[in-house]
A and B are shown apart, each in its own frame.
Chain A
Amino acid sequence: MIRRLYIKRMEVYFIIILGLLPLLFDNILFHHIMVIAGIYAIAALGLSLFMGYAGQISIGHSAFFGIGGYSMAVLTVKYGVSSFFSLMAACFITGLAAFLVGKPVLKLREYFLALATIGLVRIFQVMVTEMGGLTGGIAGIYDIPWFSVFGFRFDTLLKQFYLVWIILYVLFMFTRNLVHSKYGRASIVVAANEDISKTIGINPASLKLKIFILSAVYAGLAGALFASVLTSVSPGSFGLDMSMILVIMVIIGGIGSLSGSVAGAVLLTCLINFISESRQFSLSIFGIILILFLIFLPEGIFRGIGLRWIEIVRTYADDDWRKKLDR
């Protein structure tokens, strides 16, 4: 009981600090990084749900990110739909796409699923590039209006920061509740062993599909916000690198840790911006980071460092301390 209260109080402090941060550091670059990080975090949150709680792998979430972004772009620019309804429609279209794709693809396991999802990204990119009439081909779509709701336009990075992070927080709370619900517990069983889950009355196929659709909708929402913040979309920005970035964010935070994936998104976005002057190194650096994390900190940055630290303290601590730690 006390522990629970403590976490909630921590959370309130955390939100207050987060809300004040952009006001304290009134710096365009910082605002920009935080907006993009928040958008990535939404997508990473969904992917973390899919990877950590359904135990599946998807290297294809950039396709859903792209579908969301393109839905937003096409609806607002070509059809003049208001951006609020476009956002809703983008989520719906992404969910529909995930449903259509997920039904056949989720029958696969492990490597086959990973490669099929890579195929999805490629198919998406080819379709977008070739259907030039609708999507602007390789050049993409420009001049997407800022996001606005009831006449209030989110036209500065500061407003966008609050928009993105409030959406992220709502989704975060929703996801956390979901994970602690009947569905969340069932999905942990599915991730651990699909065959056993069948014997206790769980339908793993439908559960996996539901989580897949949900995580795709997160990615689609993030993509729609991405399109409206950057005011342009092009096929190049939704390629396999993007999927890799999302996967690395989840790995940095620790697979299945929801707050970790948000932290991973912030850390990696900072890194991307930090190395943006030497862009040519970025792919190699991402690859190295991913491999090093998998080898040395597979539990994620926080849990991993925590566990290592406990080990170190255990080795050098005296008996009193060791007893305290063991307790």
Chain B
Amino acid sequence: MTFEIFVRLAIAGLTTGAIYSLIAIGFTTIYRSSNILNLAQGEFVMLGGLLTIFFIHRFSLSYLAAGILSVLVVTLIGFLIQRLVIKPLMDQSLLILIMATMGLSVFISGSAALVFGTSPKSLPPIIHVEPVLIISTVRINIQSLIIIGVSVLLIFILYLISHHTFYGKAMEAVSTDRLGAELVGIPRDLIMMISFGASAAIGAIAGICITPIIFTQYNSGAILGLKGFSAAVIGGWGRYSGALTGGILLGLIESLSVGIIPSGYKDAVSFTALLLILYFRPKGILGSRALSESRK
């Protein structure tokens, strides 16, 4: 692996890594408010990408308008999921909640296949500008910079919201003690609905970011969701900084592995990384308060 290839792969890894962090943040947002891990998170990503393509092609909207519209639609779907599926099952065992979100994931991807067809689709690059030149022959696309910038900015905003606002505290209260939170007058359902909507929106943005880079189709949500989850676990479960670190790291590992072993094994590499980290350090690299608390 020459230095040039290394830098190229590293840049590609950083870009996909940033998107993985966005997906990871989606998991974290729901988990922090309800202790639910939404297995359908990857479907939000897929829907975000496919809806944008749909709006651009069907209604010939501009890139930005189509993106905003698809984020809105996916947010609405997030609200609906909380109302129709999660709320009636809130008091059931965890096993049942896990399978309900799994069922949701299958249902959404199946319906997406019906609406958008099964062929893989892609978006044109977000922006048509000459790539910035950095090291002699290696170029960075503006697109990569935009994606990394958007991800870091979103994660920072979410961090501020969850740690320094009333809403964030309410979210934490709902997840720690549902009954207690209701007793002090926190609208539990509303808080959970908002966090489902927010995480759907983040997922959709991640989808819009990733569709120009890789092909998206109805069943790519499961894999993307898994990678986001891996990122969240590798960095440290339940932490925004952990999601960012884990995502970038996972992207880099995955991308650089292409230089060493056949690219077909790329998915296996990231899941092996997940299994290894779960075995040797389940808290993740930065550690996780959420996990050590639940293990009491």
Please tell me if A123 contacts chain B, counting CB pairs below 8 Å.
yes
A115 to B105, CA, bound (A): 13
Establish whether residues A112 and B278, one from each chain, have CB atoms under 8 Å apart when the complex forms.
yes
Please tell me if A199 contacts chain B, counting CB pairs below 8 Å.
no
Please tell me if A122 contacts chain B, counting CB pairs below 8 Å.
yes
- With A104-B279, A290-B102, A295-B88 as contacts: A126 and B265 at CB distance below 8 Å: yes
- With A283-B113, A288-B107, A294-B89 as contacts: A110 and B98 at CB distance below 8 Å: yes
Please tell me if A222 contacts chain B, counting CB pairs below 8 Å.
no
Provide the residues of chain A in CB contact with B100, threshold 8 Å: 290-291, 294-295
B95 to chain A, nearest CB (A): 6
- With A111-B37, A294-B100, A295-B88 as contacts: A122 and B274 at CB distance below 8 Å: no
Establish whether residues A294 and B275, one from each chain, have CB atoms under 8 Å apart when the complex forms.
no
Establish whether residues A294 and B99, one from each chain, have CB atoms under 8 Å apart when the complex forms.
yes
Point out the residue from B85, B96, B275 that lies within 8 Å of A119, measured CB to CB: B275
- With A55-B95, A108-B282, A283-B107 as contacts: A247 and B102 at CB distance below 8 Å: yes
Whose C-beta in chain B lies nearest to the C-beta of A52?
Answer: B95
Establish whether residues B226 and A251, one from each chain, have CB atoms under 8 Å apart when the complex forms.
no
A59 to B99, CA, bound (A): 9
Please tell me if B229 contacts chain A, counting CB pairs below 8 Å.
yes
Residue-wise, chain B 245-270 has the 8 Å CB interface mask toward A (1 for contact) of 00000000000000000101101100
Establish whether residues B226 and A126, one from each chain, have CB atoms under 8 Å apart when the complex forms.
no
Establish whether residues B102 and A114, one from each chain, have CB atoms under 8 Å apart when the complex forms.
yes
Please tell me if A140 contacts chain B, counting CB pairs below 8 Å.
no
Q: For the side of the interface on A, what is the size category?
A: 35 or more
Please tell me if B104 contacts chain A, counting CB pairs below 8 Å.
yes
Provide the residues of chain B in CB contact with A120, threshold 8 Å: 271
Whose C-beta in chain B lies nearest to the C-beta of A295?
Answer: B88
A298 to B91, CA, bound (A): 12
Provide the residues of chain B in CB contact with A127, threshold 8 Å: 268
A282 to B106, CA, bound (A): 10
Whose C-beta in chain A lies nearest to the C-beta of B107?
Answer: A287
Residues facing A in B71-130 (CB within 8 A) are 85, 88-89, 92, 94-96, 98-100, 102-111, 113-114, 118
Establish whether residues A283 and B109, one from each chain, have CB atoms under 8 Å apart when the complex forms.
yes
Establish whether residues B39 and A294, one from each chain, have CB atoms under 8 Å apart when the complex forms.
no
A134 to chain B, nearest CB (A): 15
Point out the residue from B92, B113, B271 that lies within 8 Å of A123, measured CB to CB: B271
Establish whether residues A59 and B275, one from each chain, have CB atoms under 8 Å apart when the complex forms.
no
Whose C-beta in chain B lies nearest to the C-beta of A191?
Answer: B95
A177 to B100, CA, bound (A): 31
Number of interface residues of B (CB under 8 A): 43
Residue-wise, chain B 194-228 has the 8 Å CB interface mask toward A (1 for contact) of 00000000000000000000000000001100100
Provide the residues of chain A in CB contact with B272, threshold 8 Å: 123
Please tell me if A116 contacts chain B, counting CB pairs below 8 Å.
yes
A122 to B226, CA, bound (A): 10
- With A57-B99, A108-B282, A114-B39 as contacts: A129 and B264 at CB distance below 8 Å: yes
Please tell me if A107 contacts chain B, counting CB pairs below 8 Å.
yes
Residue-wise, chain A 68-86 has the 8 Å CB interface mask toward B (1 for contact) of 0000000000000000000
State the main secondary structure of chain A at its contact with B.
helix
Provide the residues of chain B in CB contact with A55, threshold 8 Å: 95
Establish whether residues B98 and A122, one from each chain, have CB atoms under 8 Å apart when the complex forms.
no
A99 to chain B, nearest CB (A): 15
Whose C-beta in chain B lies nearest to the C-beta of A247?
Answer: B99
Residues facing B in A90-116 (CB within 8 A) are 104-105, 107-108, 110-112, 114-116
A244 to B97, CA, bound (A): 15
Residue-wise, chain B 228-248 has the 8 Å CB interface mask toward A (1 for contact) of 011001000000000000000
Establish whether residues B222 and A290, one from each chain, have CB atoms under 8 Å apart when the complex forms.
no
Please tell me if A174 contacts chain B, counting CB pairs below 8 Å.
no
Residues facing A in B149-175 (CB within 8 A) are none
A104 to B272, CA, bound (A): 12
Whose C-beta in chain B lies nearest to the C-beta of A130?
Answer: B264
Please tell me if A240 contacts chain B, counting CB pairs below 8 Å.
yes
A130 to B103, CA, bound (A): 29
Please tell me if A286 contacts chain B, counting CB pairs below 8 Å.
yes
Establish whether residues B103 and A290, one from each chain, have CB atoms under 8 Å apart when the complex forms.
yes
Please tell me if A118 contacts chain B, counting CB pairs below 8 Å.
yes
Establish whether residues B275 and A105, one from each chain, have CB atoms under 8 Å apart when the complex forms.
yes
Provide the residues of chain B in CB contact with A108, threshold 8 Å: 278, 282
Establish whether residues B233 and A112, one from each chain, have CB atoms under 8 Å apart when the complex forms.
yes
Residue-wise, chain A 232-253 has the 8 Å CB interface mask toward B (1 for contact) of 0000000011001001000100
Whose C-beta in chain B lies nearest to the C-beta of A129?
Answer: B264
Which of B37, B39, B102, B104 has the largest number of chain A CB atoms within 10 A? B102
Establish whether residues A130 and B262, one from each chain, have CB atoms under 8 Å apart when the complex forms.
yes
Point out the residue from B106, B275, B282 that lies within 8 Å of A287, measured CB to CB: B106
8 residue pairs bridging A and B, Cβ less than 8 Å apart: A57-B98, A120-B271, A126-B268, A127-B268, A283-B106, A284-B106, A288-B103, A291-B104
**Nearest 7 A/B pairs, CB to CB:** A287-B107, A283-B110, A290-B103, A284-B110, A119-B271, A111-B37, A287-B106
A interface residues, Cβ below 8 angstroms from B: 51, 55, 57, 59, 104-105, 107-108, 110-112, 114-116, 118-120, 122-123, 126-127, 129-130, 240-241, 244, 247, 251, 255, 280-291, 294-295, 298
